[in-house]
């Protein structure tokens, strides 16, 4: 019998702090060449959303995350992200376990956003804010509070921002401008409109842009990307969709302009 771990099982087993440790270890292992991760495959179902297949191999394991992104689902009482993670034994191909992908995605997104902020932000950074109070935005806010940081939360739906703030121990921002002024900023929006226009980021500020996770999406203006230091999780993944692809197509960024977070963590690329 193959065990299935539902969303509650995943959340009960992995705290935000443990997720951050695991994500840090994963970035380091990937940067050292211990894991392979072919580019994700998109199966568009536009305008409603899309399906994604995301494989990886390493540590004696093979994994596949089959996941969806349907931004309009919450209005119908349905989750934006659903899917499964399949875990197999890389030595014989046997399926070992199945996990809820929505919970895994939220933990990973929150952990990666905060790991990047703590690694690349200023050591003396004080304030933190999350723009977007969906499932993944809540995960990022929860990770900030688990790390002992005060976090502001803003969303176009103020009621949702207040509810998330109450659940994670954060504070609802009084305005989008207040949230945007934070030293450490995480954006987890649907990616259908620019959050950071040219000139938005001030010297020393950090932004983890997590919402533009598919073709045609963007949270930051190309002109703003061109004037700041840019890091990504994986160039081969990030340069083919979301914010980076627009900058590459506009010829304002090349591979040499962008460092990978894992390389910073192992010391082969310079951080802040």
CB 71 within 8 Å of CB 134: no
Question: In CATH terms, are 4-103 and 121-266 the same topology?
Answer: no
CB 107 within 8 Å of CB 19: yes
Give the confidence band of 41 by pLDDT, cuts at 50, 70, 90: very high
Is 65 assigned a catalytic role?
yes
CB-based contacts of 261, cutoff 8 Å, min separation 6 = 27, 115, 116, 119, 120, 231, 232, 233
Mean pLDDT, rounded, for 173-197: 96
Q: What percent of the chain has pLDDT over 90?
A: 91
CB 135 within 8 Å of CB 110: no
Q: Give the per-residue pLDDT at 215.
A: 79
Give the pLDDT confidence of 60-79 residue by residue, as tens digits: 999 999 999 998 999 999 99
- Is residue 241 predicted with pLDDT exceeding 90? no
The domains of the chain are located at 4-103, 121-266
Mean pLDDT, rounded, for 155-183: 97
Task: Return the CATH class of domain 121-266.
Answer: alpha beta
Give the confidence band of 205 by pLDDT, cuts at 50, 70, 90: very high
Task: Return the CATH class of domain 4-103.
Answer: alpha beta
- Is residue 214 predicted with pLDDT exceeding 90? no
Directed axis angle between helix 135-146 and helix 16-31, to 10°?
100
Average pLDDT over the chain reads: 96
Q: Give the per-residue pLDDT at 67.
A: 96
Active-site position among 65, 96, 142, 217: 65
- Is residue 194 predicted with pLDDT exceeding 90? yes
Distance of CA 81 to the CA centre of its chain: 13
């Amino acid at each position: 019998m193959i065990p299935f771990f539902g969303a509650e099982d995943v959340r009960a087993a992995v705290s935000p702090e443990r997720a951050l440790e695991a994500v840090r270890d994963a970035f380091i292992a990937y940067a050292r060449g211990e894991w392979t991760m072919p580019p994700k495959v998109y199966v568009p179902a536009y305008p409603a959303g899309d399906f994604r297949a995301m494989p990886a191999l390493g540590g004696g394991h093979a994994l596949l995350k089959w996941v969806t992104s349907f931004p309009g689902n919450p209005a119908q009482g349905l989750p934006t992200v659903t899917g499964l993670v399949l875990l197999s034994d890389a030595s014989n191909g046997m399926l070992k376990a199945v996990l809820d992908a929505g919970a895994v995605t939220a933990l990973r997104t929150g952990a990666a956003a905060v790991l990047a902020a703590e690694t690349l932000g200023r050591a003396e950074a004080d304030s933190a804010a999350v723009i977007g109070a969906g499932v993944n935005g809540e995960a990022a806010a929860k990770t900030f509070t688990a790390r002992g940081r005060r976090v502001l939360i803003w969303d176009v739906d103020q009621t949702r921002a207040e509810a998330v703030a109450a659940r994670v121990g954060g504070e609802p921002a009084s305005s989008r401008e207040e949230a945007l002024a934070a030293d450490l900023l995480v954006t987890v929006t649907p990616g259908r409109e620019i959050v950071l226009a040219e000139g938005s980021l001030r010297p020393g500020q950090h932004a983890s842009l997590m919402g533009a996770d598919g073709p045609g999406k963007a949270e930051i203006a190309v002109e703003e990307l061109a004037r700041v230091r840019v890091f990504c999780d994986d160039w081969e993944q990030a340069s083919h969709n979301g914010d980076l692809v627009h900058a590459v197509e506009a010829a304002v960024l090349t591979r040499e302009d962008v460092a990978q977070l894992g390389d910073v963590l192992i010391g082969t690329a310079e951080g802040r």
